[in-house]
Structure 1
Amino acid sequence: MEFQDVVRRRRMVRRFTDEPVSDESVRRIMRNAMRGPSAGYSQGQAFLVLRGEEVARFHELITLLTLPTVRSAPVVVIPFAVKDAYLDRYAEDDKGWTDRSEDHWPVPFWYVDTGMAVLLALQTAVDEGLGAVYFGLAAADFDKVRAEFGVPADHEPIGAIAIGHDADAPISAEASPRTRKRRPFDEVVRFGRW
């Protein structure tokens, strides 16, 4: 699929068939997610891929209720931001911030970079002919998810991605993409000056 087609076709899918997702597709999605940028090549992202009964356990744990149709996705990926990887990397000699202070970071790149990795996963799902939706998790669920799946304490989940074969109906007339227009290019993008 051409890149522009991937970009145009990417949308949040909220209904999935019961068809399994191939291991090859899951691995390609995750390999591409790992290609996201990271400040100083800190590589402070990690991913937990859940399938089968693990997906059911995950949905039983979380506070925010997802749609039953989203819960039917055969794969859930939990992306984690690892702040310590950034603080450690920038305390190395070639970066020079020996105190590991978060004050050096006016923007928390561990979240930004993990978000970019999520977008790469979403785009790769489209390229694989799959559907995916990113959804948030409640902060109260972070420790439950870590404990249930043995995730290190310094790994912070930034949400979850449900992946499967798209069974969504066409976008309804009431859906946001139909009721809200995309902002005009000239309203969003400025060249040289605001």
Structure 2
Amino acid sequence: MEFQEVVRRRRMVRQYTADPVDPAAVDRMLRHAVRAPSAGFSQGWGFLVLDRPADVARFWDATTPPARAARPDPWLRGMRTAPVVIVPTSSKEAYLARYAEPDKGWTDRDEARWPVPYWHVDAGMAALLILQTAVDEGLGACFFGVPPDGVAPLRAAFGIPADHTPVGAITVGHPARSPSRGSAASRRRRPAAEVVHRGHW
């Protein structure tokens, strides 16, 4: 598939068929993810891959509040149909350590040196490559946030180390035919002319 077509077709998919996902396709997503740029080539990311039904169920059990689990809304019911969940994580420690090395020289490891948390930015770039690769594989995917009160149970359920922060999660599967398009169905896409500022804001 041409790259422009991948970009055009990419959307967040919120409901999936029961068809299994080829493990080789998931491997390609991850191989592409680790090609993402990272500040100082720190590569402070990690990817928790859940592709067995029991593990996927544990993910939803860990991250869904009991009241919502008891009465799931359409979004949750649809998302739980995904056969694969990938959790991208970022390690701030990897970046602080990398920039304390001799070729960078920030030996004080002061976070104030970072205008934005590039450990999260870079993990987001890797996540986008997963989303784009899913499209190229003829699959659907959706990136979404883990609720704050679900992070600790998620860590405990899957042994995510303390120095890695889940930046979200990605469902992957074969898209089901569904009229639901989320916010994109009710909000227009802003044209480039509204958001691109040349020479001056």
TM-score bracket relative to the smaller structure: over 0.9
- Which of 106, 110, 125 is the matching residue for 1:116? 125
- Which of 70, 93, 100 is the matching residue for 1:84? 93
Structure 2 counterpart of 1:177, which letter? Answer: A
Task: Give distance in 1, aligned partners of 2:6 and 2:129.
Answer: 11
Q: Is the 8 A contact 1:14 1:168 kept in 2?
A: no
- Which of 183, 186, 189 is the matching residue for 1:179? 186
Question: Which residue is 1:105 aligned to?
Answer: 114
Question: Which residue is 1:60 aligned to?
Answer: 61
For residue 169 of structure 1, report the CA deviation from its aligned partner.
1.9
Q: What is the aligned-residue identity percentage?
A: 58
For residue 147 of structure 1, report the CA deviation from its aligned partner.
1.5
Q: Is the 8 A contact 1:13 1:168 kept in 2?
A: no
Q: Deviations over 1:72-123 (max 9, x none)?
A: 1000000101000000000000001001111111100001111111111000
Structure 2 counterpart of 1:142, which letter? Answer: V
145-154 or 21-30: bigger deviation? 145-154
Structure 1 counterpart of 2:27, which letter? Answer: R
Question: Which residue is 1:145 aligned to?
Answer: 154
For residue 145 of structure 1, report the CA deviation from its aligned partner.
1.3
Question: Which residue is 1:169 aligned to?
Answer: 178
Q: Give the TM-score of the pair, scaled to structure 2.
A: 0.91
For residue 35 of structure 1, report the CA deviation from its aligned partner.
0.8
Matched, 1:11 2:20: no
Helix, strand or coil: the match of 2:100?
coil
For residue 184 of structure 1, report the CA deviation from its aligned partner.
2.4
> Structure 2 unaligned runs (5+)?
69-74
Task: Give distance in 1, aligned partners of 2:191 and 2:146.
Answer: 31
For residue 135 of structure 1, report the CA deviation from its aligned partner.
1.1
Q: Deviations over 1:149-181 (max 9, x none)?
A: 111111100110000001032456xx5334322
Matched, 1:44 2:51: no
> Structure 1 unaligned runs (5+)?
none
Instruction: Say if 1:170 and 1:138 are closer, same or farther in 2 by CA, change over 3 A.
Output: closer
Task: Give distance in 2, aligned partners of 1:136 and 1:168.
Answer: 24
Q: Is the 8 A contact 1:88 1:100 kept in 2?
A: yes
Q: How many residues matched? A: 192
- Which of 141, 145, 148 is the matching residue for 1:136? 145
Question: Which residue is 1:72 aligned to?
Answer: 81
Matched, 1:35 2:35: yes
Q: Deviations over 1:12-65 (max 9, x none)?
A: 001101111011000000111111110000001100000221000110111365
Superposition RMSD on alpha carbons, in Å? 1.4
Task: Give distance in 1, aligned partners of 2:64 and 2:78.
Answer: 17
For residue 68 of structure 1, report the CA deviation from its aligned partner.
1.1
